[in-house]
Amino acid sequence: MSLKGKTAIITGSNSGIGLGVAREVAKAGADVVLNSFTDRDEDHALAAEIASEFGVAARYIQADLSNADAARSLVEKAGCCDILINNAGIQHVAPIEDFPTAKWDAIIAINMSSVFHTTAMALPMMRQAGWGRVINIASAHGLTASPYKSAYVAAKHGVVGMSKVVALETAREPITCNAICPGYVLTPLVESQIPATAKEYNISEEAAIGMLLERQPSKEFATTEQLGGTVVFLCSDAAAQITGTAISVDGGWTAL
Ligand code: NAD
């Protein structure tokens, strides 16, 4: 599968799944636009590394996706967008009555509303190019729930629903929109939950990993390369009729 000549924007891609996905689409030949809210030398260095490793054009564009105008300007600054991978996300865990309003607002803005803004900006570019892929990194929590994750579960269910709407609005065009729903993937977002879980339950970090994977029947983390491979598949001709779906990459979590 060659994505040569295509440009992919990957939101939240200076770490974790976003970076892994950026590397896989670059490996498949796409030019990439990396993003996060920081503007450090090491962010730009990540783009330079991808460019030299895979022989593609790679840029880093700073945009804080908690802000609607910034989310829209990310796509505008990129200038073209054949593949939009909405991946940026944050987490906060608390019982609903203690859930800070600021955290609720931030999670809804970054994990869900940014998807609306970037998609609205990217679709006209895809129509102009006559081809497009919108791929939203949702979560198993876009299909199921866990206690204490009200904002995250609401946002991810919203992203799965929005993916269906975009699929219907583009159904007669060579554009598809799908959600990918990962179970646990070992990234900084999950790594930070391991010591927290160990502390909360007064158990070892190994036991905490076992607890995290309790809902994942494979008892293995998914990898960022596997997520990237799923994205590349969704960009292939074989996936041209796959639209409006939520594809689980969760070791069987949602089969339970
Ligand atoms: P991560 O913390 O490694 O990456 C999150 C990315 O989002 C980072 O690049 C971060 O800089 C960026 N980001 C955060 N706030 C931002 C903002 N305001 N503006 C722009 N970028 C911002 O976490 P991850 O595990 O790689 O998560 C990536 C996505 O995958 C998230 O949407 C997450 O919900 C989803 N996900 C992760 C898992 C998992 O187990 N790791 C499981 C299911 C879904």
Model confidence over 127-144: pLDDT tens digits? 999 999 999 999 999 999
Contact 12, 35 (CB under 8 A): yes
- 137: region left, alpha or beta (phi > 0 left; psi from -120 to 50 alpha): beta
Ligand 1 atom closest to the Cα of residue 70 is 19
* Closest residue to atom 9 of ligand 1, CA basis: 12
Q: How far apart, in whole angstroms, are the C-alpha atoms of residue 242 and residue 245?
A: 7
184 is catalytic: no
Q: State which residues of the chain have pLDDT below 50.
A: none
- Which pLDDT value is given to residue 190? 85
**Can you tell me which residue has the tokens 């689409």?**
25
Residue 145 one-letter amino acid: A
Query: Hey, CA dihedral for 67, 177, 249, 14, is it positive or negative?
Result: negative
- Which pLDDT value is given to residue 1? 74
Q: What is the tens place of the pLDDT at every residue in 19-60?
A: 999 999 999 999 999 999 999 999 999 999 999 999 999 999
Ligand 1 site, CB within 6 A: 12-18, 36-37, 64-66, 87-90, 110-111, 137, 139, 182, 184-185, 187-190
Ligand 1 atom closest to the Cα of residue 66 is 18
| Ligand 1 midpoint to CA 118 (Å) | 16
- Which pLDDT value is given to residue 105? 98
Q: 11, 17, 143, 230: which to mutate for ligand 1, most atoms within 8 A of CB? A: 17
Marked catalytic residue, from 60, 148, 152, 201: 152
| Ligand 1 midpoint to CA 90 (Å) | 6
- Which pLDDT value is given to residue 226? 98
| Ligand 1 midpoint to CA 6 (Å) | 24
Residue 16 corresponds to which tokens in the numbers above? Answer: 């974790």
- Which pLDDT value is given to residue 189? 77
